[in-house]
Amino acid sequence: MRFLPEQSTITKRLLSLLTTFYVLWGSNALSIPTMSTEVSSAKRTLFDLPVSNNGARCRIIIYKKEIPESEVGIASPAILGGLKSEEYLARNPQGKMPSMTCTESGLNIAESDTIARYLLAKYPQGPSFQLDNPKSNLISRIHDMYLTTIQTCLYKAPPFGPFGTRSDALAEYQRQLKVIADLIDPSTGMYLCGEEISLADATLFPSAVFAQHMFPKFDITPALPPKLEKWFNEVREKDPVMKKVYDELMGGLAPWDERGRWDGFLGAGVRDTDPPTFFEKIIAGEVPAAIVKEDDRILAFKDINPAAPAHVLIIPKKRNGLTRLSKATNEHAEILGHLLVAAAEISRDKSLGFGDGARIVINDGPDGGQEVMHLHVHVLGGRAMQWPPG
């Protein structure tokens, strides 16, 4: 494909590197489309990158069906200026990969499942991918609804769909993998739905590569439930297309590792290594406290040395590196918001001695007067507060 006139030298260099990577794809026995720096003459172009797990679903179909490059070419979105360029957004308004453009009709198709089903309908040769198998369709649906929507918990900063914390999203990801594992019977064949590859295999395998590579970074092992681990290892070893896609994905992930992508992520590169405080003993019930509010995230109790007629401390049950407020990152946004909402609720509680309003205080570090290295919120009330504070 040719460069657009407005593309920068940096984009051209990036594309050159990506082109080299795609050429390397074609170095083994499988004949597949490779990226070109010329305008593609293919009837259809799949805009995708090796590191794209959703796009890999479509690549598995292309490779399995041995669809020639004249029919389907593969190109980097960098050809069009990147995912957020006007040229690419005209094809896929979501700015995501993959996307497919059909040259003959001008049709643009977004979303990997839609592209996959289009390819399966357009190219009947080779395996059918069991499009009429309800179990395959169910697994694919579970993947797209409950795994794809939160998969960024494995490699990006929050938020993660409906989950405000990485730990919650990772736990849900594991739970959904178990749901899928409970659907399969390994005795029926090597693939998820028997002896023949299905759309479920093409859909789940790339995400399983991500899980196998990334879960251990968060000290989660094994990454896959036993039945899925057996399936994953077997198809990777015995199916040359799956092995090829595995190598593509891992080749794309290698630069992420080299650049330290996980260095700043809570639970991976960032871990709470500071010593515990007596707050942990209160949380564990080993030290008594006058508890006024508790849920799965926070604990609130009366201060034993009150500085006002009403004085309540609120602490996160899991410190997760929040020894002090200045240690907070976007990983802590959910718990910080939860602490302040709890403070608002407590400040309205007349039975605790609060009147018309309260002072909400977070002491940070030695200069801020912090004595316990476990972030805590003071809610003080029952009298008029002075300004400036001491």
CATH code for the domain of 164: 1.20.1050.10
How far apart are alpha carbons 234 and 227 in whole angstroms?
Answer: 11
Q: State both tokens at 197.
A: 């590859």
> Is 359 in the same domain as 252?
no
- 96: containing domain: 1-126
pLDDT tens digit string along 293-345? 999 999 999 999 999 999 999 999 999 999 999 999 999 999 999 999 999 99
pTM here is 0.85
Query: pLDDT confidence of 30, banded at 50, 70, 90?
Result: very low
Q: What is the CATH number of the domain that holds 330?
A: 3.30.428.10
User: Using CB atoms within 10 A of its CB, is residue 273 exposed (0-12), middle (13-18) or buried (19+)?
Assistant: exposed
Q: Within this chain, do residues 156 and 285 fall inside the same structural domain, yes or no?
A: no
Average pLDDT over residues 334-359: 97
Let me know if residue 390 belongs to a domain: no
The verdict on residue 387 lying in a domain is no
Q: What is the mean pLDDT of residues 19-28?
A: 36
Contact 142, 178 (CB under 8 A): no
For residue 8, is pLDDT > 80? no
CA distances from 296 to 85, 97, 145, 373 (A): 43, 37, 26, 21
Share of residues in the chain with pLDDT > 90 (%): 86
| In-domain check, residue 389 | no
Taking CA atoms, 242 is separated from 23, 59, 63, 205, 239, in Å, by: 18, 10, 9, 8, 5
pLDDT of residue 28: 35
Same domain, 246 and 199: yes
59 shares a domain with 2: yes
Is 376 one of the annotated active-site residues of the chain? Answer: yes
Taking a C-beta distance cutoff of 8 angstroms, is the pair 232, 243 a contact? no
Residue 18: what pLDDT?
44
CA distance 2 to 4: 6
Q: Are 44 and 169 in a shared domain?
A: no
Average pLDDT in the chain: 90
Residue 37: pLDDT above 50? no
In this predicted structure, the answer to whether residue 34 has a pLDDT above a threshold of 70 is no
User: Rounded to whole angstroms, how far apart are CA atoms 320 and 266?
Assistant: 7
More reliable by pLDDT, 85 or 21: 85
The per-residue pLDDT for range 92-147, each reduced to its tens digit, is 999 999 999 998 888 999 999 999 999 999 999 999 999 999 999 999 999 999 99
Asked if 278 contacts 285 with a C-beta cutoff of 8 angstroms, the reply is no
SS3 320: coil
In this predicted structure, what is the pLDDT of residue 41? Answer: 81
- What is the pLDDT, as a whole number, of residue 23? 34
Q: Are residues 184 and 201 in the same domain?
A: yes
Which residues touch 286 (CB under 8 Å, ≥6 apart)? none
Is residue 316 situated within a structural domain? yes
User: Same domain, yes or no, for 94 and 139?
Assistant: no
Q: Which of 237, 270, 303 is the last residue of a domain?
A: 270
| In contact, 158 and 331? CB cutoff 8 Å | yes
Q: What is the DSSP string of 200-247?
A: HHHHHHHHHHHHHHHGGGGT--SSS-HHHHHHHHHHHHH-HHHHHHHH
Q: Give the pLDDT confidence score for residue 20 in this predicted structure.
A: 36
pLDDT in tens, 192-239: 999 999 999 999 999 999 999 999 999 999 999 999 999 999 999 999
* 360 and 283 in a common domain: yes
Q: At 29, which CATH number?
A: 3.40.30.10
Backbone angles phi and psi of 387, in degrees to 5 = -135, 140
Q: Are residues 167 and 263 in the same domain?
A: yes
Domain annotation covers residue 304: yes
Among 99, 126, 153, the domain-final residue is 126
pLDDT at 4 > cutoff 80 = no
| pLDDT at res. 40 | 63
Q: How many CB atoms lie within 10 A of CB 359?
A: 18
**From the candidates 143, 332, 338, 376, which is the catalytic residue?**
376
- Spatial separation of the C-alpha atoms in residues 153 and 124, rounded to whole Å: 36
pLDDT at 384 over 90: yes
The span from the first CA to the last CA of the chain, in angstroms, equals 67
Whether residues 204 and 97 share a domain: the answer is: no
153: Cα separation from own chain's centroid: 3
Among 361, 359, 356, CA closest to 386: 359
Share of the chain above pLDDT 70, in %: 89
Query: Tell me: the pLDDT tens digits for 235-271?
Result: 999 999 999 999 999 999 999 999 999 999 999 999 9
Is a pLDDT exceeding 90 seen at residue 14? no
Instruction: Tell me: do 77 and 205 sit in the same domain.
Output: no
Looking at the fold, whether 184 and 139 belong to one and the same domain comes out as yes
Within a domain: 252: yes
Residue 386 lies in a domain: no
Assign 389 a pLDDT band (cuts: 50, 70, 90): confident
Q: What's the domain count of the chain?
A: 3
Quick check: is 246 in a domain? yes
Structure confidence at residue 390 (pLDDT): 64
- Residue 27 has, within 13 A of its CA and on its CB side, a CA count of 8
**Residue 179: both structure tokens together:** 């749901």
Which of 94, 109, 126 represents a domain boundary (last residue)?
Answer: 126
Angle subtended at Cα 301 by Cα 364 and Cα 372, rounded to the nearest 5 degrees: 30
